[in-house]
Structure 1
Amino acid sequence: MSVQLTDPLEGILTLVGTTGHMSTGLVAGGEWALSFRPRPAVKFNAVRRGSCLLTVDGVPEPIELAEGDCFLLTRPLGFTLASGPGLPPIPAGPFFAAATDGVARVGTTEDVVFSGGRFDFGERAQELLLDALPPVIHVLGGTPEAATVRWALEQIDVELRDRPLASTLVTQHLALVMLIHLLRLSLTAGGPGMASGWLAGLTDPVVALALGAMHARPAHAWTVAQLAQVAAVSRSTLAARFKRTVGQAPLDYLTGWRIELAAACLRRGDETLSAIADKVGYGSESALSSAFKRVTGASPREYRRRVALADGGRGRQRP
C-alpha cells in the first residue's frame, strides 16, 4: 500500500504553537554559583565560552558543561549553574534584574559566557510533547546538533545587535531551529529517560511508518491491516510493536490524534462542528461528539465554551 507519509514531529510542533525567545545572557568569573527558580517555559542555555557545572532539581547527578555544550530543560524545574561543586548558590534573579546591554554579570572576569532563552508552547504541549522527553537534554559541543545551535546563536547575535527589519521574527525562527535539532538528537540517542509515546514511536522504523501514515491522512478509515501494509510487516507485528513503543494500540492512538486535531479547530473557533467532524474522520457531528466526550470528558460545544471563557470571552462561540 503506497501512502504519502507526514512527519508527526512537525505536525505536533505546529499544533502546540511553538515559539522561541532569547533571554538575557550571562557572563561569570571566579568562584560563583547561581540558583534559578522553576519557570513554566522550556529553558535552554548554551556555553559560548568556558565550562561550569549544572545541577537540576530531581536529577541525581550534576552535569559538566564544556565550551560548545548546550542543554534543554523540558520541565519547570529549578536548577543551579556553578563554577564548581560545593559552592553555596545565591539567587540569580537580582543579577538578571541588574543586567546591562542584555547581559547579566557575576564576578569581575569573563571565564564563562552563556546565551539562552525559552520556548513557549500551547496548552497541550506538556502531554503531547514534553512528558515524552527526559527532564534534561544535554548536547555535547562536538555533535552536529551543537554546531547548528552555535550557528543559530551567532545569527541571533547579529539580529539582536544590528536590529535589521523583522529581526524579532528571525530570532524566534532561529530559536525554533535550535529546538528541532535538540529534539532530533534526543530521538537519535533514544533519549535517556525517554518515555513511551508517539515520540518514542518515531525511534522505531516500523512504528514510525504507521505514525506517518496516520498523521498524513487522519480522516482515513485506517485499519490495523492497512497500517501494517504501509509498514511492510504483519498485522500482529505492528500491533505488538506499536503497543510496546507508544503505549497504546494503533487505532486508539488514531482516535486520540483525531480528537487533538478537533480540539485545535475548536480552540480557533472558526469552523462548524460538521466541518470539523469531516476533517478529522467522523461522518457526523454526533459521531464526533461521542468520541470527543469519551476522550476529553466534555462535548465539543462544552469544550468550545470553556475555551471562550478562558480567553475572556474573546473566542467566538457557535450555537
Structure 2
Amino acid sequence: MTVDPLAEIVTLLQPSASFSKLVEYAGRWRINRDVESKPVYFAVLEGQCRIIVAGRPPIIIGVGDFVLSPSTSVQAIESIDAPPRGIDMVPTELGEGRYRVGSGQAPVNLRMQVGLCSFASPDAALLVSLLPAMVVARGEPRLAQLLQLVGDETRQSRPARELVLERLLEVLLIEALRCGTDLAAGPSVARGLSDDRLVAALRAIHARPAHGWTVADLAAEAAMSRSAFFARFSRIVGLPPMEYLLAWRMALAKRLLCNRELAIEQIAAQVGYGSASTFSTAFTRRVGMPPMRYARTTAAT
C-alpha cells in the first residue's frame, strides 16, 4: 500500500480557517507576524514586498507568488522601501473582508489575499515541526484559485461550511508543500520525502506503523548502512528514526483515542505494541497521562 506521509501529517493536523482577507498595503510599512500568532498563507496579487526571517537573507516576493508559513515563528513583512525598524503596524479594517496596512493617504504598493488558520490536532506542535517553517511557490495559479475558494467559503454561512473549509485547507497546504521551495532550508519531512534514499524509509513507516521497525530495517529500506542512514535521517528530517517512529505512533494513537471507536488493545496493535499494558506504559511516558484518561480528557473539551 502506497502512503503519502505529507498528506497524512496535514490531515492529522486538522486545519481550520480563522478567516481570509484581502489586504492592501500603502506607503512605507512594516508588520510583524507575531501580532496574529497563527499559521498564515498568502498570495501576492499586485506589487512586491520583503519577508524578514531571523538568521536568513531577506526574501523578495511579487505578483503570482504564494507563501505558506505553518509555524508561528516571528517574521516581519515590509515594503521594499521599508520604514525604520522601530515602526510596526497592524491592519485596519476597511470593510467586509478588506484591510489596509500603512498610510491612508499614500498610494497602494501591494495587494495580497491573506489567510489565517489553526490546527486542532493535540499534536499540532510536533506535526508542524515536521513541516518546513516557510515555503514559497512561484507562478502556481492553482494555489491562487484554492486560496480564492477558501476565502469565498470563509465569508459564507453555507451548509457543511467547516467540513468544506477543512478539506480545502488540506488540499491547499499539500499543494503548497509539494510545489513550493523550502526557503528556510531547515529539517523537515518534506525534505526527507525529496531525498531519494530517505523517502523509501518514510513511506515504509507510514505504510506500516505497527511493524516492529529497527534502525537496521529502515536503513535497508533506504539501501544505506545503519550509521549513514541514522545520521542522514536525523539531519534531514530533524528527528532520529526511532524518535520519529515513536512520535508518529503516538500521534496516530491520540487520533484513535479521540475517535473512541476502538478498545485499548486494538489501538495498541494498530500502533505497534504487543499488549495494552506496554502501549499504556509508552503512552503515559510520552504524553504524561494514561490512554483512557487522555480519551476522557479530550472528550470533555
Q: TM-score range by the shorter chain?
A: 0.7 to 0.9
Quote the residue 1:127 is aligned against. 126
SS of the residue aligned with 2:63? coil
Structure 1 residues 17 and 157 mapped into 2: Cα distance closer, same or farther (>3 Å)? Answer: closer
Match of 2:97 among 99, 102, 109: 102
Match of 1:220 among 211, 214, 228: 211
CA distance in 2, matches of 1:158, 1:287: 48
Quote the residue 1:41 is aligned against. 38
Q: Partner amino acid for 1:5?
A: T
Aligned residue runs from structure 1 range 180-191, under 5 A: 180-185=174-179, 189=181, 191=183
Displacement, 1:298? 3.0
CA distance in 1, matches of 2:232, 2:130: 21
Alignment gaps of 5+ in structure 1: 312-319
CA distance in 2, matches of 1:237, 1:276: 33
Q: Partner amino acid for 1:255?
A: L
Task: With the length of structure 2 as denominator, give the TM-score of the two structures.
Answer: 0.80
Aligned residue runs from structure 1 range 47-196, under 5 A: 47-55=44-52, 58=54, 61-73=57-69, 74-77=71-74, 79-82=76-79, 84-86=81-83, 89=87, 91-93=89-91, 95-96=92-93, 99-105=94-100, 107=104, 109-121=107-119, 122-130=121-129, 132-134=131-133, 136-139=134-137, 141-142=138-139, 146-156=140-150, 170=164, 172-185=166-179, 189=181, 191-195=183-187
Q: Which is richer in strand?
A: 2
Q: Partner amino acid for 1:6?
A: V
Question: How far does the alpha carbon of each residue in 1:188-210 deviate from its partner, in whole angstroms, 9 at most, with x for none?
Answer: x4543413x54442232222111
CA distance in 2, matches of 1:151, 1:288: 44
Question: How far does the alpha carbon of each residue in 1:80-130 deviate from its partner, in whole angstroms, 9 at most, with x for none?
Answer: 43362235745324x12xx21321245365442210102211231222223
Quote the residue 1:317 is aligned against. none
SS of the residue aligned with 2:95? coil
Alignment gaps of 5+ in structure 2: none
Percent of pairs with identical residues: 31
CA distance in 2, matches of 1:169, 1:33: 36
The RMSD of aligned alpha carbons is 3.3
Quote the residue 1:208 is aligned against. 199
Displacement, 1:60? 5.3
Tell whether the 8 Å contact from 1:80 to 1:89 is kept in structure 2 after alignment: no
CA distance in 2, matches of 1:292, 1:160: 37
Bigger-Rg structure (1/2): 1
Tell whether the 8 Å contact from 1:21 to 1:172 is kept in structure 2 after alignment: no
Structure 1 residues 23 and 228 mapped into 2: Cα distance closer, same or farther (>3 Å)? Answer: same
Structure 1 residues 171 and 274 mapped into 2: Cα distance closer, same or farther (>3 Å)? Answer: closer
Displacement, 1:61? 4.4
SS of the residue aligned with 1:104? strand
CA distance in 1, matches of 2:80, 2:234: 45
Displacement, 1:137? 2.9
SS of the residue aligned with 1:23? strand
How many pairs does the alignment contain? Answer: 294
